[in-house]
Chains A and B, each alone.
Chain A
């Protein structure tokens, strides 16, 4: 599991996750995700390369996202594969963090 970030327009930070977001994957990104959540205001979490998400992986996304929300920021999830999207939706995550498959729409939602 790897995590990298890049800056986008309008103060948006794009977080690229790559790999399996299982227990080990979650442990690998948690610290960095929390640091991001403490500083970034607009997070676009790019899930295109996440092939699997388990319940600990859900936490790695939702807990930092809620921290961003508390500070008045916004978070969107971008383009999860069907398996990952199903898991996110089964836990109603999409009701708290919107999911987009079009980059333009994801960026627009953050503005």
Chain B
């Protein structure tokens, strides 16, 4: 359950909570005394608790050993935090050295300050810990106002019939959360309920726009009518105050509020006398707090109510308002999550299309070459990858075999593989491979902002086993001949697109029947186990050497298994591509031709 207010406070000594009654009903003497004053403490993950101010002076701080009457077990609270003591004017609060200071109704106190009913006490600068001072003197004042302004203000405390009505409203509002109604009408009904509870003239739901400024999303009047979002003019001053304080601001009489609020344009022009603003926050879950860096609570919006008359809210009213706004925060949060989810699904769909296209660009049906057998597999570590391979025939009877690895992975690299493939397919038009490599190198270097380069190995195999190849920074393919594995080349070569002045050369070797070539991307030899050891070239050679007699499919899956076993559940961190080529014996090739001609 998410709440509307930061609650990261744990208290000990819960037996101090009293009998759960929030406000004493008995009349009070002129000066507030300990027995008739209470502190409402917001408890972590629990309903609020009300603690009587049992003796004076009354000390609050971390741990009980320091003589604290209200020990708060929270690292944000200093051991000596606050003292409440009796002075002729009433009860006075003093800062005893709380880190970050003590704030009463958003204002830091330097000297002692007389507490008034409903004062919100924030301990520390971060707003994680709040107390509300309750005195029956305050409730007494409420009673007076009720007498002078009947019908305009909240019910008398203890008016059980009225309280029941309010709880019914709350229950109705709660059930809205599970309704199938459109969001707009859920909020409209919630606002109507909030207006009914507070007897406000207007209720508004504000949501932050793209720039983070709170904008009226919905406005309702007391007759369940919608008000124009443009014409309503909520008090920005009060809203700002609530957001800055990170907590609910209730102004029962704006003429008693601080001067900024009193003189605010909207307040003066609209004859506003009372206003309530409850900022709605998306609080991190408990486990989030423990496992990640504490993040700022996300402001989802605010519930705003105002009236041309003064108001008086009982503690129950406040609780109901809090509960209502918790629901509103929930609904806003769900709507926001839903929108993110839709966006995520859309992106996922796009990625899945990209994947389909990339897979379709990889040649299919690789076994169909008369003078060699070939099998290949490309396994990107994300949906799409920066590796690719290609096999295509040239007009002179040779077959081109290519493996390429674009730096990086994911969508960015995948875009470039498609471009490389397109360029290299130009070789079917009779362009020299070395020229194509040099052209691509210039192309990438001239567009340095692309920020990628690629390693490639490009081979041309002719029916007599002459294998001509060009390399560009790619790890050497392995050659399995007569039961021994060797590298096709040693030493380096420039990748494509890293260094402008790079040049490329072609080399050639003569393949013998049954020679098997293994082309791979660095994702194979750089596969890691859980201790970040690399699979490495030696293990690859070892896995390869056993496959003199195996079919290419068995070879491919054997090597894949070896890599997988080595990684032992470690997440694949790079794209993996394997391409195995076996030059056929003369007899096999005749067999193949016969097979093909039947």
Which residues of A approach B to under 8 Å, CB–CB?
22-23, 51-52, 54-56, 58-59, 62-63, 66, 83, 89-96
Given contacts A55-B495, A96-B499, 11 further A-B pairs with CB under 8 A are A23-B409, A52-B534, A54-B522, A54-B526, A55-B522, A56-B408, A63-B448, A66-B499, A83-B534, A90-B475, A90-B493
Partner of A91, one of B494, B526, B534, B573: B494
Number of B residues, CB within 8 Å of A: 24
**Given A59-B407, A59-B498, A62-B498, are A92 and B451 also a contact pair (CB < 8 Å)?**
no
Closest Cβ–Cβ distance, residue A10 to chain B (whole Å): 27
Chain A residues within an 8 Å CB radius of B498: 58-59, 62, 91
Chain B residues within an 8 Å CB radius of A95: 492
**Given A55-B407, A59-B407, A62-B499, are A89 and B491 also a contact pair (CB < 8 Å)?**
yes
- Considering the complex, give the chain B residue whose CB is closest to the CB of A91: B473
How far is B492's CA from A6's CA once the two chains are assembled, in angstroms? Answer: 31
B453 within 8 A of A: yes
How far is B528's CA from A51's CA once the two chains are assembled, in angstroms? Answer: 13
Chain A residues within an 8 Å CB radius of B499: 62, 66, 92, 96
Interface string of B68-98 (1 = CB under 8 A from A): 0000000000000000000000000000000
Which residues of B approach A to under 8 Å, CB–CB?
405, 407-409, 448, 451, 453, 455, 473, 475, 491-495, 498-499, 502, 522, 526, 532, 534, 573-574
**Given A55-B455, A62-B498, are A90 and B492 also a contact pair (CB < 8 Å)?**
yes
Secondary structure of the B contact surface, majority rule? loop
Chain A residues within an 8 Å CB radius of B522: 54-55
Decide: A89 and B492 in contact? CB cutoff 8 A: yes
Decide: B473 and A90 in contact? CB cutoff 8 A: yes
How far is B534's CA from A95's CA once the two chains are assembled, in angstroms? Answer: 26
Chain A residues within an 8 Å CB radius of B453: 55, 58-59
Chain A residues within an 8 Å CB radius of B408: 23, 55-56
Chain B residues within an 8 Å CB radius of A91: 455, 473, 492-495, 498
- Considering the complex, give the chain A residue whose CB is closest to the CB of B502: A92
Decide: B492 and A55 in contact? CB cutoff 8 A: no
Partner of B407, one of A51, A52, A58, A96: A58
How far is B409's CA from A37's CA once the two chains are assembled, in angstroms? Answer: 26
How far is B492's CA from A91's CA once the two chains are assembled, in angstroms? Answer: 5
How far is B409's CA from A79's CA once the two chains are assembled, in angstroms? Answer: 28
Secondary structure of the A contact surface, majority rule? helix
Chain B residues within an 8 Å CB radius of A66: 499
How far is B558's CA from A76's CA once the two chains are assembled, in angstroms? Answer: 42
How far is B497's CA from A63's CA once the two chains are assembled, in angstroms? Answer: 11
Decide: A92 and B492 in contact? CB cutoff 8 A: yes
- Considering the complex, give the chain B residue whose CB is closest to the CB of A90: B492
Closest Cβ–Cβ distance, residue A72 to chain B (whole Å): 16
How far is B473's CA from A62's CA once the two chains are assembled, in angstroms? Answer: 14
How far is B409's CA from A52's CA once the two chains are assembled, in angstroms? Answer: 17
Closest Cβ–Cβ distance, residue B143 to chain A (whole Å): 64
How far is B221's CA from A47's CA once the two chains are assembled, in angstroms? Answer: 69
Partner of B451, one of A51, A54, A59, A62: A59
Give 30 CB contacts A-B under 8 Å: A22-B573, A23-B409, A54-B407, A54-B522, A54-B526, A54-B574, A55-B408, A55-B453, A55-B455, A56-B407, A58-B453, A58-B495, A58-B498, A59-B407, A59-B451, A62-B498, A83-B534, A90-B493, A91-B455, A91-B473, A91-B492, A91-B493, A91-B494, A91-B495, A91-B498, A92-B473, A92-B493, A92-B494, A92-B502, A93-B492
Closest Cβ–Cβ distance, residue B8 to chain A (whole Å): 31
Chain B residues within an 8 Å CB radius of A83: 534
- Considering the complex, give the chain B residue whose CB is closest to the CB of A87: B522
How far is B573's CA from A54's CA once the two chains are assembled, in angstroms? Answer: 11
Chain B residues within an 8 Å CB radius of A52: 532, 534
- Considering the complex, give the chain A residue whose CB is closest to the CB of B405: A55
Closest Cβ–Cβ distance, residue A95 to chain B (whole Å): 7
Chain B residues within an 8 Å CB radius of A63: 448
Chain B residues within an 8 Å CB radius of A96: 499
Closest Cβ–Cβ distance, residue B381 to chain A (whole Å): 11
How far is B568's CA from A51's CA once the two chains are assembled, in angstroms? Answer: 21
How far is B574's CA from A52's CA once the two chains are assembled, in angstroms? Answer: 14
How far is B494's CA from A90's CA once the two chains are assembled, in angstroms? Answer: 8
How far is B574's CA from A62's CA once the two chains are assembled, in angstroms? Answer: 21
Closest Cβ–Cβ distance, residue A98 to chain B (whole Å): 14
* 8 A-B pairs with the lowest CB-CB distances in the bound complex, closest first: A55-B407, A92-B492, A91-B473, A89-B492, A92-B494, A90-B492, A56-B407, A91-B495
Chain B residues within an 8 Å CB radius of A51: 532
How far is B491's CA from A91's CA once the two chains are assembled, in angstroms? Answer: 9
Chain A residues within an 8 Å CB radius of B491: 89
Chain B residues within an 8 Å CB radius of A89: 491-492
How far is B269's CA from A64's CA once the two chains are assembled, in angstroms? Answer: 62
How far is B499's CA from A91's CA once the two chains are assembled, in angstroms? Answer: 10
- Considering the complex, give the chain B residue whose CB is closest to the CB of A63: B448
Q: Which of A58, A59, A83, A96: most chain B CB closer than 10 A?
A: A59
Chain A residues within an 8 Å CB radius of B573: 22
